[in-house]
Structure 1
Amino acid sequence: MSSAVAAALKKLLPKQLPPSLSSRPGNLYEVLARYPQDGIGQRIHQTRWTAKGISDCYWEVTRTKLKLEGMHGKAWGVLTWRGKRVSEQEEKIPGGLKYRWAQGASRTPIGRVSPSSSSSS
């Protein structure tokens, strides 16, 4: 490709992807907006859970109402905490804007043992 064409393309393309197309963690609504049906059926977790060594925790999203191109909204789901389903019915997912969220279940960082997986003597 010639340098003139490359320069023209560079001017047309945005310098930063919109939050809904990014693969990095973001607020709850940015993460959900990346998926079909606004994330219904996805498992999501707060990134701080992994940092604290809390593993196998996630929200399974059952309903969403996103606003402002996925920057704000509301989401409901069912919580699984350390592998055990906590909620019987869907409930509003708290901390959507306050914390950073990522897709999937939380994992224990390599080299760190989760308090729930250690055995007592």
Structure 2
Amino acid sequence: MASAEVAAAIKKLLPSKLPPSLSSQPANLYQVLSRYPRDGVGQRIHQTRWGVKGIEGCYWKVSRTKLKLEGTHGKAWGRLYWRGKCVSEQDEKIPGGLKYKWIEGESRAPPPPKTK
């Protein structure tokens, strides 16, 4: 078999879409946290809309989770860091877990559009 034929045969065997646990795409808070060991405790996460609005350096640091329904629903607690500074005096429930899209890391503004 030629290498192109082998590659085509392997491609047919592999799934066309990654399972949700291996995806790095934005999802609800609990789906994102369920991708990590210990259900995301210790992870930095942020809402994708923060970057679109130009808000940078903001994230929640997750301290505790209770996930259910295979990681699609649940509760999560943590501390909010806004523009690099902790604004939570103690752990608090993270709001908007199902309402918004979330992703791992700190928020970043999108790059400016290229001009000709």
Equivalent position of 2:41 in the other structure? 40
TM-score normalised according to structure 2 size: 0.83
**What is the one-letter code of the residue matched to 1:6?**
A
Letter of the 1:53 counterpart: G
1:48 to partner: Cα distance: 0.1
Equivalence for 2:79: 78
Identical-residue share of aligned pairs (%): 70
Helix, strand or coil at the partner of 1:66: strand
CA RMSD of aligned residues (A): 2.1
| AA at the equivalent of 2:42 | G
Q: CA deviation at 1:32?
A: 0.6
Runs of at least 4 residues of structure 1 off by over 4 A?
A: none
Q: Is the partner of 1:70 in helix, strand or coil? A: coil
For residues 14-57 of structure 1, the C-alpha deviation after alignment (integer angstroms, 9 at most, x for no partner) is 44333222111111011111111110000000000000000000
TM-score by length of 1: 0.79
Q: Secondary structure at the match of 1:89?
A: coil
Partner of 1:97: 98
Q: How does 1:22-61 map to 2 (within 5 A)?
A: 22-61=23-62
1:6 to 4, 9, 12: 9
1:59–1:80 contact (8 Å) kept in structure 2: yes
> Aligned AA for 2:51?
T
Displacement of 1:110 in angstroms is 1.9
How far is the alpha carbon of 1:6 from its aligned partner? 2.6
Q: 1:10 to 1:67 in 2, by over 3 A?
A: farther
The 8 Å contact of residues 20 and 70 in structure 1, kept in 2 or not, is answered as no
Structure 1, unaligned stretches of length 5 or more? Answer: 113-121
CA–CA separation in structure 2 for the residues paired with 1:29 and 1:20:
11
